[in-house]
Structure formats: C-alpha cells, structure tokens
Amino acid sequence: MLSKSASFAGPVRNVLYSLGVIALLAGCLTRNPATGDQDFTPFMSPDDEQKVGAQEHPKILEQFDGVYSDPRVTGYVAEVGGRVAAKSEVAATQFRITVLNTPEMNAFALPGGYVYVTRGLLSLMNSEAEMAGVLAHEVGHVTARHTAKRYSQAQGVGIAAAVLGAATGSRELAQLGQAGGQAWLASFSRDQEFQADSLGVRYMSRAGYQPAAQGDILASLGRYHDFVARLNSGKAKGASIFSTHPQTPERVRRAYRKAEGKGKPDAPRYRDRFLDHLDGMIYGDDPKNGFVRGRKFLHPTLRIAFEVPEGFKIRNGKAAVLARGPAETVMVFDMDSKATQRSPDTLAHYIKNVWARNLNFDRLEGTTINGMAAATGTATVRNRKGQFVVYVAAIRADKRRLYRFLFSTPARTAQAMVRHMDETVESFRRLSAKEAAKLKPLRIRIHTVKRGDTVAKLVDRMAVDEEPKRLFEVLNARSPDQPLKVGERVKLISR
C-alpha cells in the first residue's frame, strides 16, 4: 500500500529513462556481416579492436616464448591463414597469423585480427586442411566479435587483463585481472564455440579445403586430451586449448554435420604438402627453456641438471620447473638472477630474510652441494587442508645465478618424503660444455613406411619416455590396431 507521501513521479521517470536508454542502445546496434546478429559493444569500435590487438600482441609473445624461428613453418602457416581469412566477411581486416614457440596445444585469437597457433598444436595436425580448419575457426571468433565482446565486458568490470588469460588459457595472464570476473571468463561459451566452428567450415570451404577436416582435428584433440589425462592421473593440466575451447563429442559430431553439403566432398586435404613443411620442426621443449628427459631436467644453455626420484613427474615451464610426487608432494624449481644485487651475507640469510621470510624455520643451515655453496631449511605450515612441511634449498652455481628448490608435502608423510627431497637437491650439478653440446631438442621426422616396417619397429624409434605407442597413434590419428601401408607417411619423434 502506498503511503500518503508516495508519488508515481520517481517510477515514471525511471521507466522513461530506461526507455530512453533502450532507444539509445538500439541506435548503436549494427548487423554483424558474418553472423547476422546485432552487435552492441559499447566499449570497442573496430578501430579499438585493432589498437587492443596491437597493444597486447607483445605480451602474448612474451608469455608464449615468442615466434617460432623457422620461416619455412611460419610463412606456410601465415599463407594458409591468410587464404581462409580472405574468404571471411571482414576480409579487409588486417589479420596477423603467428606461430608461437611453445609445446602447448593451443590456438586463440585477440581483437583486431590477431590469430595464434602453437607449434605444439601443429604437431597434432595431419593435413593442411586440418590446419586451415583451426585457423578458420579462430578467424570465426574474430569475425563474430567474440573476443571483442569479451574484452569489452572485461573492461566494464575493470578486468580487461583477465580476458587475455581466458583467450589463451594462461593462468599468469588471467591472474592480472580481478578474481571476481575470472569465472565467467574461463572459456568461450558453448554457443560461441559452435558458431566459430560453423564460420570456420564456411571459410575453409570457400578457400577450397575439405570441410570434414575440421571434425578430424577436433577428434584428434579429443584423443590427445585423453592421452594427457591418462599421463596426469585423470586430469589434463596446464594452459591449453582444452581450457579455452572445450572439447566434447557433441562438438565433433556437429562439426562433421556442418561439413555435409559444404564445399566439395573430394576437395583436397594437402596432406603431403603439410607433412613436408612439418618435417624437422621442434617437438616439445625449446633448448632455451631446458629439456625434460624422463625424471631428469637438463638445461644446455645454463649448463645445469638435476633428477627427481621415481614416482615424480616433471613439467617444464618458462619461469619454473614443476614436479608432482607421491602423497601430494609438489616441487618448484626456479632461478633468482637478481640475488647477486642483494648481496646477502650467506645463503641461509638469503632464504630467511629475502626469499622465504614469511616462514618460521625449524631447521636452516648452510652446506655445499657438488662443490657449490648452498643452504637448506624446513618449516611447518598449516592451511585449510591441514599441516604441511615445506623444504627449501638455495644453491649458488656461479656469481650471477642462484637456483632454488621449494617442496611441499603433507606432514603425515614428511618423514618419508624429505629423503626424496634431499636426493633431488643433492643431484643438482653443473653440466660440462661437452655434455651441454650433446643436448639437442626433439624434432618431428616424417617417415615413409617401407616393406618390413611394423608399428612396433616405428614405436621403438620414438624418442619419448612415456607411452610412446599411444603417442604415435595420437600424433598420426591412428587406431590401436590399424595396419601400416607401404608408402604411407607417418610422424615420428626423433633426437
């Protein structure tokens, strides 16, 4: 019931104001030539999109180890990307296609026509048509303005930086944004993915490729996802295409259905041309980031090495090496190149007062490890998951570099695990110039099947430590029991 002093003026004024805003917004709506939808992006014009892409491009290169240095690969990818982009409704947009020098499986786009694909994802492809499908999909995200809309929304809530993390799957970039918006920026929506798939089929068909190839690469991504999850005890971890472009059986089926009746069913896939360009491409870690070889980490440039115990799995990263072991034990290894500028009196002093000053150490002492000055310490901490023991070690390899190990393990298993931590730290050593010179990256080699070749013989040539047969099948999109044919070409991983 209204009181005597109540008035309709406020509600009426609010309604009129709302109607005025709606009319104003309607005047800003434009028809998207690619999707037919009405776009309203209040924070970004097409010119703004170009500026944002140009501004963020250097950050992407920094995050993903720059551009892959082989022009034979990068020029080829840019040529195919330009071909499908030219068939889009916004062909006048200056698309920029970049191959990123990272083993991660990923492809993404930023506003303004900046499209990226990693050499890791290229290694999974088996034809030029599949590559065209991936690039056309990312062009679709640009033409549908999915990235522009997301960036505009992010600016609206003050978390523009988080959109980069969402687009690339990068936790580091995402953390630049405010936590409140990261949940809904986690990945493209289901409808946006389907729409980009549909546009991708359209563009690759117009460019003369067999559109069913897009379904093929999506199916390969699903198999690779399962392979990675199997290696990581059920979880496909890390920044990758799986966190930014959800893979589902429904999406694969829809991609194949979209391809039906589009283009020419017998359109070329250009498999041989693609494999010719892929031959010799680096697979896995780049030498500048060091190599993981089984349980060993070896860095030919820094000339250092260490080994983790059995049961631990290492994952290399740009800024740190991570490892997971039994009983929820985790390890982080990194380098402090600025430690010499601080000039701590001792490494124990450095640990306590510079690096880990928030820890109350139960033990902290200086030592030597393989002739290098070092210090180690243990501390007990408690968080919402219980009580943990933290083990740290700092090792001075030379005047310029100080290397650090940090382990965490539940207190209930600490007595058994500290021994493994000691073993890891004590394995840290310098590599000789001769040892470092022998360390070479893995590369993809294209092999033509000869008479007498068997899957077992080819798998024996795969220079990988875990599940080489399954990786051979995944990289070559082969079923487990598929026989080899004389004359067919397959990818191997070689040193």
Cα angle 365, 366, 370 (rounded to 5 degrees) comes to: 130
Q: Please list the residues that pair with 30 across neighbouring strands.
A: 39
Residue-wise over 401-416: b if at least 16 C-beta within 10 A, else e?
Answer: ebbbbbbbbeeebbee
For residue 383, what are the domain limits? 303-430
Domain boundary among the residues 430, 456, 473 is at: 430
The number of folded domains in the chain is: 3
Q: How far apart are CA 316 and CA 319, in angstroms?
A: 9
Q: How far apart are CA 281 and CA 119, in angstroms?
A: 8
Record the tokens describing residue 479, joined without a space.
């079923």
Calculate the CA dihedral of residues 75, 463, 133, 147 and round it to 10 degrees: -80
Tell me, yes or no, whether 270 and 331 share the same domain: no
Q: How far apart are CA 101 and CA 283, in angstroms?
A: 10
- Segment 428-444 shows an average pLDDT of 96
Q: How far apart are CA 283 and CA 274, in angstroms?
A: 16
pLDDT tens for each residue of 11-51: 333 333 333 333 333 334 566 655 545 554 444 677 888 88
Residue 22 within any structural domain of the chain: no
Question: Are 290 and 321 a contacting pair, CB within 8 Å?
Answer: yes
pLDDT-derived band at 446, boundaries 50, 70, 90:
very high
Q: How far apart are CA 179 and CA 173, in angstroms?
A: 12
Residue 41 DSSP one-character state: -
Pairing of strands 96-100, 107-110: unpaired
Tell me, yes or no, whether 340 and 458 share the same domain: no
Domain boundary among the residues 283, 314, 343 is at: 283
Tell me, yes or no, whether 119 and 189 share the same domain: yes
Give the model's pLDDT for residue 249: 74
Q: How far apart are CA 196 and CA 133, in angstroms?
A: 10
pLDDT tens for each residue of 338-369: 765 555 568 999 999 989 988 999 999 999 99
Record the tokens describing residue 381, joined without a space.
């901490």
User: Is 327's pLDDT higher than 80?
Assistant: yes
CATH of the domain at 316: 3.40.1000.10
Give the model's pLDDT for residue 283: 97
Cα angle 304, 310, 312 (rounded to 5 degrees) comes to: 75
The whole-chain average pLDDT of the chain stands at: 81
Of 113, 73, 108, 117, nearest in space to 94 by CA: 113
User: Is 111's pLDDT higher than 60?
Assistant: yes
- Segment 298-317 shows an average pLDDT of 93
Domain boundary among the residues 224, 248, 283 is at: 283
- Give this prediction's pTM: 0.80
| Low-confidence winner among 184-193, 223-232, 261-270, 411-420 (lowest mean pLDDT) | 184-193
Phi/psi-derived region of residue 308, left when phi > 0, alpha when psi is between -120 and 50, beta in every other case: beta
Q: Please list the residues that pair with 493 across neighbouring strands.
A: 444
Between the ranges 188-202, 269-283, 338-352, 401-415, where is the mean pLDDT highest?
269-283
Residue 409 within any structural domain of the chain: yes
Question: Are 304 and 425 a contacting pair, CB within 8 Å?
Answer: no
Give the model's pLDDT for residue 180: 33
pLDDT-derived band at 263, boundaries 50, 70, 90:
low
Residue 67 DSSP one-character state: B
Tell me, yes or no, whether 399 and 339 share the same domain: yes
